[in-house]
Structure 1
Amino acid sequence: MTTPAAPPAAPETPVALTTEEIWPFAGLRVVSDDLELRYLDDDLLFRLAEVAAQGVHAEDAMPFTTPWTRGTPLDVARSVVTYHWGGRGAVSGTGNTRLELAVLSAGEPVGIQGFFGTDVAITRTVETGSWLGLAYQGHGIGTRMRRLVLHLLFEGLGLDVAVTTAFADNAPSNGVTRRIGYEPNGVDVVAREGKPALSNRYRLTREAWEAQADRPDVELHGVAPVRSFLGLDAGPSAPSDRAR
């Protein structure tokens, strides 16, 4: 008769890991008065899918290269969820990096602000992108949320350059981008819903950002673990986890 093998012994000291240790972005927050950027967990993701389903732009406009805002409200909501689920695994200190943050105004989710890049630890450069629910546009939130992510990129993560694009016929986006201090950086012709469209490129350096006198007062929370995870600690030093 074979004697059953004894079960493996439990470790003397169980390993206890927090959510933030496993996934540092879970503790990331960027706060200025009543506006906040926060890691996009599933609860916020589904709430923002509902926001997007209510509309992001006028029917006769298309501010995105991928027309994810077309279709029924349910189509749009599902597009938001599946896109962000698919992108979570792209966050890394090597290769491609993509991070999406929920935008909350007075505690209510109103849009998403993200950034992405390739070999960011080497290039110290990312591209930003965002959207804001139609019901919340025209109140200055779009400008403020983009200033908050720039504060995170330059003063929290120690990056050197932020770039962005906007279709030439998207006057609000171009206006906000120039108002924040981006410099024009060329024009591309890209496909948009089966037709050619002009897309303006913009570039903002850390030096140009730091020279601005009207930068917002911002509190950064949970930045140091994110810098380490993305391999950014070897680059220029930058303040983290404090207000400017």
Structure 2
Amino acid sequence: MVRVWPLFGLVLTTPRLVLTPVRDEHLPELIDAVLAGIHDPAEMPFTVPWTDAPREVLITETARHQWRVRAGVSRENWTINFAVLHAGRVIGVQDLNARSFPSLRRVGSGSWLTRTAHGQGLGTEMRSAVLQFAFDHLGATSAVSEAAAWNGASLGVSTRLGYAPNGTSLVEARPGEVDVQQNLLLMREDFLRPGWVVDVQGGDAALELLSPGTPD
């Protein structure tokens, strides 16, 4: 399968986590992590309120979403959904995405963790992993992120990694509910790197698929 789809060979390893593009064998644990709960139901941290869906819809749509994302990868526009494994079990997803990447050299990211994995610094660790991969292996020069202005946990991850505020916008979190969204920007030279370096396996094949050149 790695020969057929090189991204399946991509593995990022941090001190506590393993991140690898979601494969079909990850889906049962991934769905379990979704169903166990990601956030307080009274709040909606996502710009698309997908976690409000009924249980039976969440099960099928989680699988469909992963397949759609995988099929949409091209050199110009791509999203990689990494399954995040802790102690060998899937606990969430960290995505890395880009639009017009050959020209802009900019990436974005989004993530979620099952609620039992919150509060352990894992969100910072997994985003740091994909940023190192983007800056040091794919040749990205900047990264963007966003979060609801009330979402201190997500904004805290961004602050710890060196992102700077980049304006705000209004989003409809749920029908009739408007949130202020804080936009963030991180230049490669401002990245606050951790005291460890991510181990990247399968990066050369990913580079051929996602990036037209090598890092500066």
Is the pair's TM-score, using the shorter chain for normalization, greater than 0.5? yes
Deviation for aligned residue 1:192? 1.5
- Could you give the per-residue CA deviations for residues 43-93 of structure 1, whole angstroms, max 9, x where no partner exists? 112310111011000011100011111133333232321211111111110
Q: For the residues of structure 1 that align with 2:207 and 2:62, how far apart are their CA atoms?
A: 27
CA contact (8 A) 2:139 2:211 kept: no
> Of the two structures, which has the highest relative contact order with CA contacts closer than 8 Å and spacing of 6 or more?
2
Structure of higher CA gyration radius? 1
Gaps of 5+ in 1: 1-18, 238-244
Deviation for aligned residue 1:113? 0.4
Which residue does the alignment assign to 1:172?
153
Q: Check if 1:131 corresponds to 2:112.
A: yes
Which residue does the alignment assign to 2:139?
158
Q: For the residues of structure 2 that align with 1:42 and 1:113, how far apart are their CA atoms?
A: 16
Range with greater deviation from structure 2 (143-152 or 78-87) = 78-87
Structure 1 residues 213 and 56, CA gap change in structure 2 (3 angstroms)? closer
Say which of 23, 35, 46 aligns to 2:5: 23
CA contact (8 A) 2:137 2:203 kept: yes
- Could you give the per-residue CA deviations for residues 110-169 of structure 1, whole angstroms, max 9, x where no partner exists? 000002221112211111001100111111111111111111111121211110000011
Gaps of 5+ in 2: none
Q: Which runs of 4+ in 1 moved over 6 A?
A: none
Which residue does the alignment assign to 2:36?
54
Q: Check if 1:108 corresponds to 2:89.
A: yes
Q: For the residues of structure 2 that align with 1:136 and 1:64, how far apart are their CA atoms?
A: 18
Q: For the residues of structure 2 that align with 1:213 and 1:27, how far apart are their CA atoms?
A: 25
Which residue does the alignment assign to 2:166?
185
Deviation for aligned residue 1:235? 4.4
- Could you give the per-residue CA deviations for residues 90-119 of structure 1, whole angstroms, max 9, x where no partner exists? 11102x211111001121110000022211
* TM-score, length basis structure 2: 0.94
Q: How many residues align?
A: 215
Which residue does the alignment assign to 1:236?
215
Q: For the residues of structure 2 that align with 1:231 and 1:33, how far apart are their CA atoms?
A: 26
Q: Secondary structure at the match of 2:160?
A: helix
* Superposition RMSD in Å: 1.4
Q: For the residues of structure 2 that align with 1:85 and 1:21, how far apart are their CA atoms?
A: 18
CA contact (8 A) 1:34 1:107 kept: no
CA contact (8 A) 1:46 1:81 kept: no
CA contact (8 A) 2:113 2:123 kept: yes
